[in-house]
Structure 1
Amino acid sequence: MTKDKAIGWIGTGLMGSPMVKHLLNAGYKVNVQNRTKSKATELIELGCTWFDTPAEVAANSDVIVTIIGSPADVEECYFGQEGIINGMKSGAILIDMTTTKPSLAIKIAEVAGMHGAQFIDAPVSGGEVGAINGTLSIMIGGDKAVADSVLPLFETFGKNIVFQGPAGSGQHTKMCNQITIAGTLIGVCEGLLYGFKAGLDLNTLLQSISKGAAGCWSLDILAPKIAKGDYSPGFTVNNFVKDLGIALEEAEAMRLSLPGLALVKQLYLSIQAMGKGTLGNQALYLVLEKLSNLNKN
């Protein structure tokens, strides 16, 4: 993929903004659109061109990337009156990097193909830290040749880029990722809570357990935040609840029982009920701590 191709980017939030900066630093021309224009101000000042609607971005871009909110947001962005499908040029490549429903990815691929465009689903893992550092893991579904053609774009902000299979496969892989994180994170939080109640220094504790068999991304990145009471989001509770809901819905469609995932989702719903849905997903510790205090009483 040559750098004379115009990139359209829709979604300039916690993840999207640093990803666009990597593209700019690599010399790409980027058109941007976001539901809230103020969140794109810095990117516009850095040289991005603003368009008011997804359709306008699509009409002025060769490759259009979306990384937005919920499946409903993605559906509207692609199929709405001012959506991408109504504005894109024949031969365009569409890339959805949002974590959304595999079935929606398949639908977009089919409709895009009917209009002479190509689509790949490419959700990411690594959170805001990975986006800033350019080390995201990217899981790709769609046509292999199309995925290969945009590999230089992915390489500006990703390090572990793996093609998984046909349309929807990237999203299914992301569901596996989120299911694994959910189970891992409850173990991390319960381990830290146990350590705290036992009178251990959490940072010293982490020096031991993060380097042994328990070692994982959540221990390396999220556990130190919990130890210092930092619940700022690299990935919010609200977004995680959305992802876990998709995973449970897909599992039900496959007649698959995932009781651990169901439990973790209920705990995250409790965090939302506490009014803390905008915190990082490490805030799982807070609800477990609250339950511990209730048991003590």
Structure 2
Amino acid sequence: MDNVKSIGFIGLGVMGKSMAKNLMKKGFSVNAYTRTKSKAEDLIEEGCTWCESATEAAEKADVIITMLGFPSEVKEIYFGEEGLLNNAREGSILIDMSTSSPTLAKEIAEAADKHQMTALDAPVSGGDIGAREARLTIMVGGNEEAYNKALPVFQAMGTNVVLQGGPGMGQYTKMVNQIAIATNMIGVSEAISYADKAGLNPNLVLKSIGGGAAGSWSLSNLAPRMIAGDYEPGFYIKHFVKDMTIALESAEELGLDTPGLKLAKGMYEELVTRGFEDAGTQALIKLYVDQA
């Protein structure tokens, strides 16, 4: 399988649909499966092949990509009776691009090897914008030979693709990413709230601070949404809470205390109790707006 031609894509959520579309733009044949077929209608119109099950998508593909919401879904799609490990072709490359547990990633890689397959964990960062514009950061863990074969696939979806090490190292890197974002989102929310309270024009403030030492992806891309009161999801709060939970558990396993991460997780859990689990992570500003 020196040249990857056919890709099975499982999970067409906020980011997955754009990722699949970009693969098609680069000439890959995409066989897609998601639980709700209506989510794939526009892809089908553009030439994507719809499959009735994950098994069917896997049987037709050289590379199978999963982009799912929770580790429980990842575990089921790989290890279930109708799962990928029992039904994909020998020699297939299985790529989980979900944000999931490093421990689970290692388990999948070990099981894939026993089934004469190879598994890579390759979570992404960049949100809905990065997925749509094929500018994702892709953090890969796993076998270097499989990584090199899959590199054109990754490059169709992202611009910053790095092999971080063996199985699980992609997921560990994504946890680093989420830990950095968690407390940064608190800082961005507090900064915008402070600017508003001081009588400043927050959009003008962004022009001054966005390119300096305070600059960050969240400040540039999510602060404008905060200011506009736009809480549409580029990344769901419920998924961010899941990620922070994984990161906290992993940090505890490593013997590391992360008080900033704990604080951010608690704040986002408060938003979940208020019914904002399906809002974008920029909705953290609501905790400050509601103080007024």
TM-score, normalised to structure 2, is 0.98
**What are the equivalent positions in structure 2 for 1:136-151 lying under 5 Å apart?**
136-151=136-151
Q: CA deviation at 1:21?
A: 0.9
Residue identity opposite 2:127 in structure 1: G
Partner of 1:18: 18
> Secondary structure of the residue that 1:150 maps to in structure 2?
helix
For the residues of structure 2 that align with 1:6 and 1:39, how far apart are their CA atoms? 21
Query: Bigger CA drift: 45-54 or 260-269?
Result: 45-54
1:98-109 matches, within 5 Å, as 98-109=98-109
Match of 1:286 in 2: 286
Q: Distance in 2 between matches of 1:228 and 1:2?
A: 48
CA deviation profile, 1:225-281 (whole Å, cap 9, x unmatched): 111111111001111011001000111111211001000000000101110111110
CA distance in 1, matches of 2:4, 2:16: 21
1:32 corresponds in structure 2 to 32
Q: What is the rounded CA distance, in whole Å, between the counterparts of 1:130 and 1:3 in structure 2?
A: 26
Partner residue of 1:158? Answer: 158
Letter in 2 for 1:139: M
Residue identity in the other structure for 1:110: E
Q: Deviations over 1:61-91 (max 9, x none)?
A: 1110000110000000111121111211110
Deviations 1:112-167 (A, max 9, x none): 00000001000000000000011000000001111111111111110011110000
**Native 8 Å contact 1:3 1:29 kept in 2:** no
User: Percent identity between the aligned chains?
Assistant: 49
What is the correspondence of 1:76-95 to structure 2 with a 5 Å cutoff?
A: 76-95=76-95
- Tell me how far apart the structure 2 counterparts of residues 113 and 136 of structure 1 sit (CA, whole Å): 28
One-letter amino acid of the structure 2 residue matched with residue 187 of structure 1: G
Find the counterpart in structure 1 of residue 135 from structure 2: 135
Q: Which amino acid aligns with 2:208?
A: S
Distance change >3 Å, CA 216–CA 71, structure 1 → 2: same
| Deviation readout 1:201-223 (Å, 9 max, x if unpaired) | 11011111112110110111000
Q: Is the 8 A contact 1:3 1:27 kept in 2?
A: no
Distance in 2 (alpha carbons) for counterparts of 1:3 and 1:17 = 23
CA contact (8 A) 2:129 2:234 kept: yes
- Residue 213 of structure 1 is matched in structure 2 by 213
Residue number in structure 2 paired with 1:236: 236
Q: What is aligned with 1:250?
A: 250
Task: Say whether the 8 Å CA contact 2:31–2:49 is kept in structure 1.
Answer: yes
Letter in 2 for 1:127: G
Distance of 2:197 and 2:143 partners within structure 1: 51
For the 8 Å contact 2:3–2:149, the answer to whether it is kept is no
Q: Are the aligned partners of 1:122 and 1:138 in contact in 2 as well (CA < 8 Å)?
A: yes
CA distance in 2, matches of 1:19, 1:161: 14
Distance across 2 between alignment mates of 1:270 and 1:289: 14
- Runs of 4 or more, structure 1, over 3 Å off, are 1-4
1:166, 1:2 → 2: CA distance? Answer: 21
| In 2, Cα distance between equivalents of 1:227 and 1:4 | 44
Moved more, 224-233 or 121-130: 224-233
Who is 1:96 aligned against? 96
Structure 1 position 276 matched with structure 2 position 276: yes
Residues 268 and 284 in structure 1, CA contact (< 8 A), matched pair in contact too? yes
Alpha-carbon RMSD across the aligned residues, in angstroms, is: 1.1
- Measured in 2, the distance between the counterparts of 1:199 and 1:30 equals 51
TM-score, with normalisation over the residues of structure 1? 0.96
Residue correspondences, number: 292
- Whole-angstrom distance in 1 between the partners of 2:254 and 2:2: 41
CA distance in 2, matches of 1:87, 1:50: 18
For 1:54 and 1:269, locate their aligned partners in 2 and report how far apart those are by CA, in whole Å: 32
* 1:50-129 map, 5 Å: 50-129=50-129
Q: Which amino acid aligns with 1:271?
A: L
Q: Is the 8 A contact 1:55 1:85 kept in 2?
A: no
CA drift of 1:59 comes to 1.3
1:181 is aligned to 181
Asked if structure 1 preserves the Cα contact closer than 8 Å seen for 2:121 and 2:140, the reply is yes
Local SS of the residue matching 2:222: helix
Gaps of 5+ in 2: none
Q: Is the 8 A contact 1:183 1:261 kept in 2?
A: yes
